[in-house]
Amino acid sequence: MSQITKKALAASLVKLLNETTLDKITVKDIVDDCGVNRNTFYYHFQDIYDLMDWIFVTEIQKIVDDEKICDNWQQCFLQIANYLLENDTQVYHTFNAIKCEDLEQYLYSVTDNLMLHFVNEQAKGMKISEEDQKFIADFYKYALVGLVLEWIRTGMKEDPENMINKISKIFEGHIKSVLHNCKEE
């Protein structure tokens, strides 16, 4: 029952986000739309931002966990970008809200694992410390998320596949070069 209630509250928030910005939505708006009382909301979530966090974690984790579409960072990030594009009104209303760092934080979290895995794969057979691999992955994580946040800020006009292809061309050759420069002798 708990997951059903959470999903219902999430659906109400998403519906409201398609009408107005996150900072203008109240718990009362959500529970009225959902047909539950305030106590039910607070039983599951601390506040609206906690609910928004749950939505991001749930939706993005579904994409990341789907091995059919997420066997490398490019495919995974393309799926995330397509999800953001398909939900553009909701994303804009969240991104432009007071606490838009939630979206940013989840992008960083997902990208951290993807880039670390990618760098580790590229470093196989090379003698490179885990610390250096983590630093390189962090560098590219911040670059990738920064580009995606700018893409969102400017209206998500560029085709996600085109954007990911451009990024991939830069990362592929550059990461190998950086790893080569970091090899321990």
Q: 46: alpha, beta or left, given left = phi > 0 and alpha = psi -120 to 50? A: alpha
pLDDT over 80 (residue 173)? no
Alpha-carbon gap, residue 115 to 112, rounded angstroms: 5
Q: 170: which DSSP letter?
A: H
What are the pLDDT digits (tens) for 61-119? 777 666 565 667 787 778 888 888 888 877 777 776 655 566 777 778 778 877 888 88
Phi-psi region of 128 (alpha: psi -120 to 50; beta: other; left: phi over 0): beta
Taking the C-alpha atoms of residue 168 and residue 63, their distance in angstroms, rounded to an integer, is 19
Question: For position 69, what pLDDT does the model report?
Answer: 57
pLDDT value for 70: 61
Which pLDDT value is given to residue 82? 84
CB within 8 Å of 146: residues ≥ 6 apart: none
Nearest CA to 64 among 4, 106, 104, 95?
A: 106
137-164 confidence digits (pLDDT tens): 999 899 988 998 888 888 889 998 898 8
| Tokens matching residue 176 | 């190998």
- CATH 3.60.15.10 holds for 55-182: no
Whole-model pTM: value is 0.69
